């Protein structure tokens, strides 16, 4: 498929060439007409030359007719060329999915359609490492038809859809049952989840097509040394590289809708589903990333045993300095427990009740250690570091871990498998219709030095 820019440049070149050709023919015809006038003047003064004059006029007439025919042929050729190029432009617009719409929206639709095809191919086991989807590989009209059919399928049973709608739905059919949620909707669900799940917002994210993410773990440092220019270079130690596997688990939500809601044309059922699913997914993910035990769910940041910094599989726990309460000294000590490279992106995590108590702490100068965010969208600060409320963190009490502090982007990785799927179930909860919606997600600590926990105690 040619690029639109290239097509327009071709048209411009053809128009210029046509103009040049016509100009040449016009000049030649003007020359012939001048010759005709000269012959006519000659005829008026030399009647004896009549026979030759007649012959010359016939030759000129024939030449003019030939050039006129050539101009007509050029015009026809140009019209056919212009039509061909116009058809090419229309083909590009059709491929992008919406003729006559601005380029920005075209690109967005194409992007969504491409991502949807990637997810569908992944679910069918067709997506390979070498797979590169080009615009000509993506049928935007097919994707738009699926979008429309998907919206209708939320309101009706499959056998109540038209034949065209049923055919369109097959594009997003999932081998494990149900249908893929269109890209726009699934993207909005993910965005809302990240906005309300604190670890989702702070952690590093990876998207996979399989059942797990495998990452290399290099905790040893390569040997090194200083030598003179001509001295021998002795062998240095080789770092030991391990591997960590973060599996993905199924998370699901089953929001229920009444038949009356589904039949109300004024209600956007897709937006309703998006809101319900994102709320449930956010709550479940937020809890798992903090306290999940790693069995059929992600493993959380609080679930590893206490240990010294640098010991893999353990997290530093800093005593609060009081048997049952937090103290200002305990929090200050936490900020010095991390290496400098983690402090630049460090964040506090605690629940709202804990934050309420911490807000009253003062430094030696009588200034509050907590600083509110004075601008919209700006977080509050504690000892110079951002504070993020996480209501799934424990309440302050003897032996609990109510505060976490560190660089969670470096320390924790969230793994999402491509795609969100939904299955309409009108039988299990009559008279309601359930939308069994699934996503696969995993998560685990990958850098055990990146954060520390405050344990209430001495």
pLDDT tens-digit readout, 62-93: 776 676 677 767 767 776 776 676 666 666 55
DSSP state of 225: -
pTM: 0.68
Give the pLDDT band (50/70/90) at residue 33.
low
Q: What is the mean pLDDT of residues 384-390?
A: 94
Q: Around Cβ 309, how many Cβ atoms within 10 Å?
A: 13
Length of the chain counted residue by residue: 458
Give the pLDDT confidence score for residue 376 in this predicted structure.
61
DSSP state letters, 303-358: -SPB--TT-TT-B-EEE-SSSSS--HHHHHHHHTSS-HHHHTT-EEEE-HHHHHHH
Lowest mean pLDDT among 67-71, 99-103, 407-411: 99-103
Could you tell me the strand order of the sheet in which 385-389 lies? 317-319, 451-455, 403-406, 347-350, 385-389, 380-382, 370-371
Please name which of 431, 421, 438, 437 lies closest in space to residue 257, comparing C-alpha atoms.
Answer: 431
Cα separation of 69 and 86, whole Å?
A: 26
Cα separation of 141 and 330, whole Å?
A: 60
* Helix then strand then coil, % of the chain, to nearest 5: 45, 20, 35
Cα separations (Å) of 44 from 40, 49, 51, 457? 6, 10, 13, 127
Cα separation of 353 and 325, whole Å?
A: 13
Give the pLDDT confidence score for residue 140 in this predicted structure.
83
| % of the chain residues with pLDDT over 90 | 32
How confident is the model over 348-382, as pLDDT tens digits? Answer: 999 999 999 999 998 888 888 998 876 666 788 99
User: Of the spans 18-32, 101-115, 395-409, which averages the highest pLDDT?
Assistant: 395-409
Q: Around Cβ 282, how many Cβ atoms within 10 Å?
A: 19
How confident is the model over 333-353, as pLDDT tens digits? Answer: 999 999 999 999 999 999 999
Give the pLDDT confidence score for residue 222 in this predicted structure.
58
The yes-or-no verdict on residue 226 having pLDDT over 90 is no
Q: β-strand 241-247 against 249-253: which pairing, if any?
A: unpaired
Distance of CA 146 to the CA centre of its chain: 19
The yes-or-no verdict on residue 123 having pLDDT over 80 is no
């Amino acid at each position: 498929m040619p690029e639109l820019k290239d097509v327009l440049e071709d048209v411009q070149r053809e128009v210029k060439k046509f103009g040049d050709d016509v100009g040449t023919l016009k000049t030649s015809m003007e020359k012939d007409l001048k010759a005709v006038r000269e012959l006519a003047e000659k005829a008026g003064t030399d009647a004896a030359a009549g026979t030759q004059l007649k012959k010359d006029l016939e030759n000129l007439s024939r030449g003019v007719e030939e050039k006129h025919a050539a101009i007509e042929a050029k015009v026809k050729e140009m019209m056919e060329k212009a039509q061909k190029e116009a058809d090419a432009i229309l083909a590009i617009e059709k491929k992008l999915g919406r003729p006559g719409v601005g380029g920005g929206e075209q690109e967005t639709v194409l992007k969504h359609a491409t991502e949807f095809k990637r997810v569908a191919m992944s679910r069918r086991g067709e997506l390979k490492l070498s797979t590169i989807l080009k615009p000509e590989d993506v049928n935007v009209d097919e994707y738009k038809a699926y979008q429309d059919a998907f919206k209708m399928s939320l309101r009706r049973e499959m056998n109540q859809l038209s034949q065209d709608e049923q055919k369109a739905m097959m594009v997003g059919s999932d081998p494990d049952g149900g249908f893929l949620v269109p890209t726009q909707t699934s993207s909005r669900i993910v965005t809302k989840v990240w906005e309300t799940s604190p670890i989702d917002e702070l952690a590093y994210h990876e998207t996979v097509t399989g059942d797990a993410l495998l990452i290399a773990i290099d905790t040893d440092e390569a040997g090194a040394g200083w030598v003179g220019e001509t001295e021998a270079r002795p062998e240095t130690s080789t770092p030991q590289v391990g591997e960590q596997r973060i599996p993905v688990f199924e998370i699901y939500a089953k929001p229920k809708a009444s038949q009356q809601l589904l039949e109300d044309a004024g209600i956007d059922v897709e937006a309703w589903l998006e809101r319900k699913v994102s709320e449930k997914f956010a709550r479940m993910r937020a809890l798992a990333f903090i306290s999940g035990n790693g069995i059929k769910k992600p493993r959380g940041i609080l679930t590893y045993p206490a240990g010294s910094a640098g010991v893999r599989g353990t997290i530093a726990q800093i005593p609060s300095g009081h048997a049952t309460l937090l103290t200002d000294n305990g929090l200050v000590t936490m900020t010095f427990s991390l290496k400098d490279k983690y402090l630049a992106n460090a964040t506090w995590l605690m629940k709202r009740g804990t934050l309420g108590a911490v807000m009253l702490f003062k430094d030696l100068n009588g200034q509050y250690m907590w600083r509110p965010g004075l601008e919209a969208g700006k977080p509050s600060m504690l000892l110079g570091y951002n504070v993020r409320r996480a209501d799934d963190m424990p309440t302050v009490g003897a032996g609990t871990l109510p505060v976490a502090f560190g660089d969670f982007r470096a320390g924790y990785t969230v793994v999402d498998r491509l795609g969100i799927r939904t299955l309409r179930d009108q039988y299990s909860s009559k008279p309601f219709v359930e939308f069994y919606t699934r996503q696969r997600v995993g998560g685990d600590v990958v850098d055990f030095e990146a954060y520390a926990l405050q344990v209430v105690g001495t």
